[in-house]
A and B are shown apart, each in its own frame.
Chain A
């Protein structure tokens, strides 16, 4: 019966380093993958609260988060694609991170149910330090936008948005460069009202 020779001296340490590096890389990869397929904390609070009610249950269609590294990669790739609209390039240039979740509701919620659920979401978001700044509703649609209640960083803008359209629910949260987003908004978004 042959035995496996044990590494000796400095080779043993080399193996330990290699195994340690592999473990750390795997851990980082796992964290990266986890972040990629989950939502940011504020989007998670919003999603959980909205989907918590019996009349507002739904199933996941897609969700994920892209951070600065992936967005930087996307920007680099877009440089080599000539047909991409300028709005996309500018919008992407302003974004620092984005988190998106799309869910299909089991049933079409009534107006009362939507009001109840979004009121609960307001309270939950407020407990997390976010306040509702915009709400637009009409028939079976609603758009709600939240912003941090206290955010002294004027270099970046953070928003969390929920859109409920018929039986589809979309939750988005994003962090953007304030100056670039401002320039983008001024150029691309029509004046109000």
Chain B
């Protein structure tokens, strides 16, 4: 139950603090993760935000964190999926994540980070690069210790030096890797 409350607070705070959405999402960098398979016994989180909450998010952050506010103004859409895994959905979800990664590569997304730990964590981060080398969208795919899968799609113009700040603000550790990679 505590995990459920925590996940709910996380999801609500994501909507409230607004890592947060767009009125007209860019169809190029907006990724359809397809049908995900939740387990009846595990956590399943879906955050899919667009609309005027973006303005709200930027307004919230503008006083205390103007840099974050500027970054949020550039975002158009954020989608987060956390899928708890057990025997009933592990194979299907792993296959879905693999397919998503293949599709992204085929669609011209650049894998900017590939990190595979000692059998526990499998992270691949893709970026949609524009011609002027700015990033138009990010996709974070994580398979963690066979216990959960995390999919994040951030749509909007993001500067490379803002990724670390975005990762810090959203507390997505995997995204910090992308920040380091993009700043190289």
Contact = CB atoms under 8 A, between A and B. Distances in A.
B109 to A, nearest CB: 22
Contacts of A136: 4, 7-8, 11, 43-46
A133 B15 contact: yes
Contacts of B57: 182
A149 B48 CA distance: 12
A58 B9 CA distance: 26
A13 B19 CA distance: 62
A42 to B, nearest CB: 15
B4 A134 contact: no
A157 B9 contact: no
Given A135-B46, A136-B43, A141-B4, A193 B172 contact: yes
Interface residues of B, number: 45
Interface residues of A, number: 36
A154 B73 CA distance: 13
A67 interface: no
A11 to B, nearest CB: 57
Interface string B153-170: 000000000000000011
Interface of B: 1, 3-4, 7-17, 19, 21, 38, 40-49, 51-53, 55-57, 59-61, 63-64, 80, 82, 84, 169-172
27 contacts: A133-B21, A133-B47, A133-B49, A133-B53, A134-B45, A134-B47, A136-B4, A136-B7, A136-B8, A136-B46, A138-B4, A143-B11, A145-B11, A148-B51, A149-B51, A154-B56, A182-B16, A182-B57, A182-B60, A185-B13, A189-B12, A190-B10, A192-B17, A192-B19, A192-B170, A193-B170, A193-B171
